[in-house]
Amino acid sequence: MSNQFLPIRRLWIVLGVIALALLWIGFGYNGLVTEKEKVNNAWRQVETQYQRRVDLVPNLVRTVQGASNFEKSTLTDITKARTDWLAASGNRTKQVAAAENLDGALSRLLVSVEAYPQLQATQAFRDLMTQLEGTENRIATARKDYNDAVLSYNLSVKRFPRNVIAGFFGFAEEAGYHAVSGSENAPSVNFMQ
């Protein structure tokens, strides 16, 4: 009698193993999808803060131009970087490059503004600088959150056994946000120009 139930028992064992494998794949896949969407959402938060800054830039440029005979190359660089950001919509790599260019141009502007006390005294300029400072803080926070999401996702993609599922379903590593080369050096200020 036990011999006749042996094939049925083996069938149940095989079905159980298949069911467990399917559950493992399903949970692994869903976990990777969740991590990937966290990365995408974190990037959208970075984009939102960059957009806020890009929207502030024209007001800042007009205020600076109206209050002084300011260095035109810096203002041109800011305008070009803003245009590049708007044109890069949807391409994360191009957006990061454009944002880095805008970072550099705004840094040069803020260092140069020190030579114009009458500009610093205007209420419009002070208000814009306060908004810009707040936006820069939000950008830094959004970048950190993005890098945290990328780290979590990349660990999921690289660690066994999820790396098997990631490879099978085409989940690839994401690039985190990195500082621009040379950003560790403070900008030089020269008022004798």
The answer to whether 79 touches 109, Cβ cutoff 8 Å, is no
Buried b (16+ CB within 10 A) or exposed e, 120-133: eebeebeebbebbe
Cβ pair 138, 47 in contact under 8 A: no
pLDDT tens sequence for the chain (193 residues): 467 777 888 899 999 999 999 999 999 999 999 999 999 999 999 999 988 888 888 877 777 766 665 667 777 888 888 888 888 888 888 888 888 888 888 887 777 777 677 666 677 777 888 888 888 899 999 999 999 999 999 999 999 989 999 999 999 999 887 766 665 565 554 444 4
Other C-beta atoms within 10 Å of 98: how many?
A: 23
**What is the architecture of the domain spanning 35-145?**
Up-down Bundle (1.20)
Contact between 84 and 23 (Cβ < 8 Å): no
pTM greater than the 0.85 cutoff? no
The domains of the chain are located at: 35-145
